A and B are shown apart, each in its own frame.
Chain A
Amino acid sequence: MSGYNFAYLDEQTKRMIRRAILKAVAIPGHQIPFGSREMPLPYGWGTGGIQVTASILGPPDVLKVIDQGADDTTNAVSIRRFFARTAGVATTTRTVDATIIQTRHRIPETPLHEGQILVYQVPLPEPMARLEPSRAETTRMHGLQEYGLMHVKLYEDIARYGRVANSYDFPVMVNGRYLMSPSPIPAFDNPKLHMSPALQLFGAGREKRIYAVPPYTAVRSLDFDDHPFRAGRAPGICALCGADDSYLDEVVTDDQGTRMFVCSDTDYCNERAAAAAIQGNAA
């Protein structure tokens, strides 16, 4: 696009962001403040992820953008178009073909591989924000590795409800040191964070923070010995591809309240359905 630099941001800004990313990779799970810019998309709509993607994107990259696991949700479409327009890079909906995947609220079902980068859009990078609103205070708590507040919250949930009430944005310990928000992914996705071969970058534009989980880093969902972490999904199988292991969306199909369940990850679902069709033809 004329009048703008490749991938919109000027090179000085990209360099500033890449420095923040390098720091973040060096200290897994630690939130690095950065000079977040005003983007032509609104705060809260993925500006952190967009800035991270813009800073690491190169002409040979192949970009995939998902929201709720789907490539065709409006905001995913909008962000994919933004990069197609400002950087002219190739885009894809196939997880295996992408070099960079920008995501909101999901980790793809298809296992990631080395060399891939998963960029998360993060609304509230501070995992303790709902327990302690002061950033000055939570910064101190991270410094002292003082996470009792979060353990007490989980304990109180168990005492009151018999289980931890967080079902998404479930807090994790990264590399045994920093408490981290995995962004509002369902707790079902948390195990995929652990020892992932891909580089995972988290960008929070409005809150002006970047953090990272380097490849093959231990990421443990907080739990107790007698209450181990449990990831939930709707009990059922996908009505389109028959998957019984994927995260499911519940879709109301008529005004009598009839429900069906389908994969939230549209690429995973399409690939499975296509493979089944090929097998069916071969048989």
Chain B
Amino acid sequence: MAYVAVKGGERAIDAAHAWLAAERRGDPAVPALTTAQIAEQLGRAVDRVMAEGSLYDRELAALAIQQAQGDLIEAAFLLRAYRTTLPRFAYGRPVDTAAMLAIRRVSAIFKDLPGGQVLGPTYDYTHRLLDFALPDAPAAPAEVDAEPQPLAPAFGILGQEGLVEPDEAKSDDAPGDLTRDPLAFPAARDVRLQALARGDEGFLLALGYLTQRGYGNNHPFVGELRVGEASVEIEPPELGFAIDIGDVVLTECQMVNQFTGSRTAPPQFTRGYGLCFGHSERRVMGMALVDRAMRGAELGEPAEAPAQDVEFVLSHCDNVEATGFVEHLKLPHYVDFQSELETVRRMRADAEGTSK
């Protein structure tokens, strides 16, 4: 039998992409989705893609989800590859989340607090029963009469007693940006938080869960979880004052953790922090648990669990990097495999030679 070298890679690639486009569209008898439908009705998917794609743009995220057939990691990758081509004209000023117009705010450490517990739109306390009537639900749902409002942060109360560590002093240094400068260790907290904010939700969830199950235990309580719209401001140097460039929906979690004190700090509650684009409580809670776990060195705690190992967490939390490297195993590796084959054959021959 004659050997025919594999040719025609270009045609194969074109044909594969045409097939993909047909598969993406599905049965043409079923109406096509619009990106507006995705942006409006698959909001949590859009939020996740904006967070992991690190770009706040609901329409582009919806387009990415449609283009990726709902594969959210692929969608985040599409968004990232677009984001990296955009010019950077300014760094935003620190967002004032205390002033956000909150649609939801809960605190697990107070029965009640100024402004109250605000449940807002939440899956908490829903019974997870499939709603077979949902596809035929009336087009216009009941009106909501609650007004989003600014709510004082829960920590004000504990902070007055010095029981909770204060915010870190404001720094005038430009924040680290791991999309411009490669990650280096030890990594400062600004870079760690940036990495977590765009990290894989499943990875953050699993690591946070590990800390609860004894792998880096840190006794967490949800001090406050809030969701709402916050203003983004920049301060152009030619103006000398801040201007509001728009609002973004953010989810923020302040986790409090018991701390018995050290030589340099009195016993107090320490904090882990989570913040992300869009509405994703699971993401920010996982992020806050992992952020706190990674502060071990600063607080004199031993780093024994994966979540406490900064290099371990930051090197593996990015799902665009992870999926690329895992999936690259699909590429041909036959040259290396051939060299392994020869080595194994020679080792087997050696072993048989000596055993005789």
Contacts and interface: CB of A to CB of B under 8 A. Distances in A.
A135 B315 contact: yes
B342 A232 contact: yes
Interface residues of B, number: 49
Contact of A75 (B85, B323, B332, B340): B332
Interface stretch (B63-71, B106-114, B178-186, B244-252): B178-186
Given A167-B340, A186-B338, A187-B339, A206 B333 contact: no
Given A68-B334, A75-B332, A35 B180 contact: yes
Nearest to B331: A75
B333 A105 contact: yes
Contacts of A247: 335, 338
B325 A73 contact: no
B182 A33 contact: yes
Contact of A168 (B8, B328, B335): B335
Interface in A218-249: 232-234, 239-240, 247-249
Most buried by A among B182, B185, B186, B323: B182
Contacts of A44: 324-328
A165 B3 contact: no
A258 B1 contact: yes
Contacts of A283: none
Nearest to A37: B84
B343 interface: yes
Contacts, number: 150
Nearest to B315: A135
Interface string B72-100: 00000100110111000000000000000
Say what secondary structure dominates the interface of chain B.
helix
Nearest to B328: A44
A262 B342 contact: no
A134 interface: yes
B328 A253 contact: no
A97 interface: no
A35 B182 contact: yes
Contact of A251 (B3, B320, B339): B3
Nearest to A234: B342
Interface string A250-269: 11011000101010101000
A33 B338 contact: no
A254 B341 contact: no
A229 B335 CA distance: 19
Say what secondary structure dominates the interface of chain A.
loop
A32 to B, nearest CB: 9
Contact of A67 (B8, B331, B346): B331
A249 B1 contact: no
Interface stretch (B9-17, B43-51, B156-164, B261-269): B9-17
Interface residues of A, number: 66
A167 B325 contact: no
Contacts of B6: 72-73
Most buried by A among B12, B321, B333, B340: B321
Most buried by B among A4, A35, A248, A258: A35
A163 B346 contact: yes
Given A232-B343, A262-B3, A42 B328 contact: yes
B306 to A, nearest CB: 12
A104 B331 CA distance: 10
Nearest to B354: A162
Contacts of A249: 334-335, 338
Interface string A21-55: 00000000000011111111011110100000000
A266 B6 CA distance: 11
B229 to A, nearest CB: 28
Nearest to B183: A208
A45 B3 contact: no
A138 B253 CA distance: 35
Interface string A105-126: 1100000000000000001000
A42 B327 contact: yes
B143 interface: no
A74 B9 contact: yes
Contact of A253 (B3, B326, B331): B3
A72 B7 contact: yes
24 contacts: A34-B182, A35-B180, A35-B182, A42-B327, A44-B324, A44-B326, A44-B328, A72-B7, A73-B332, A77-B9, A77-B10, A106-B335, A167-B339, A168-B340, A186-B336, A186-B338, A187-B339, A208-B182, A209-B182, A232-B342, A247-B335, A247-B338, A250-B338, A262-B5
Interface of B: 1, 3, 5-10, 12-13, 77, 80-81, 83-85, 179-186, 311, 315, 320-321, 323-328, 331-336, 338-343, 346-347, 350
Given A72-B6, A78-B13, A186-B338, 18 more contacts: A38-B80, A42-B320, A42-B327, A45-B331, A68-B334, A105-B335, A135-B185, A163-B350, A167-B336, A168-B335, A168-B336, A169-B336, A185-B335, A186-B335, A188-B339, A206-B324, A239-B3, A253-B1
The 4 closest A-B pairs by CB, nearest first: A43-B324, A44-B328, A42-B324, A167-B339
